[in-house]
Amino acid sequence: MKKLEKSRTYRNLRKAFAEEAELAFRYLYCATLADFEGQEKPAALFRELAEGGNCSAHGCLDFLRGARDPDSDLSLGRTAGNLEALARAETRQHNQTYPEMAKAAREEGLPDIASWFDTLEKAKRRHARRLKELSDE
């Protein structure tokens, strides 16, 4: 396979992965809401479509595996590298992403959302620690 990293196709695979993963999760969220409303048929359809989105996202990752992790830019595929790539992504989120988001929410007078971002930051810190501990074994 030709070198992917510098190609438009690589950028397209990264975009397709992100969009498919996001859409699949939104389908699952909507399925939960439909369940709560007692809407069995829409809930079942949402779950079915979420599974299709997951398969599409996996397909994109299979191609990206020959290149780099779309978030950390580390090698993707073998478990040791996956642990490192995911730990790096979680670390970036708890060191940078969520603190910046919480700060912006506070500045905009949205304390409940700021608190939610603080909660996510703490969860990401725990995730990073767990991934690092496992990779050190």
Domain range annotation of the chain: 1-67, 75-137
Average pLDDT over all residues of the chain: 92
The structure tokens listed for 43 are: 């809930």
57 CB-contact burial (10 Å; exposed 0-12 / middle 13-18 / buried 19+) = buried
Q: pLDDT digits over 58-105, tens only?
A: 999 888 887 777 677 777 778 888 899 899 999 999 999 999 999 999
Homologous superfamily (CATH) of 75-137 is Ferritin, core subunit, four-helix bundle (1.20.1260.10)
Cβ count near 107 (within 10 Å): 9
Fold of 1-67: Ferritin (1.20.1260)
Q: pLDDT digits over 108-130, tens only?
A: 999 999 999 999 999 999 999 99
Say if 1-67 and 75-137 have the same CATH topology.
yes
> pTM of the entire structure?
0.79
Backbone angles phi, psi at 53, to 5 degrees: -65, -40
The structure tokens listed for 58 are: 């996996």
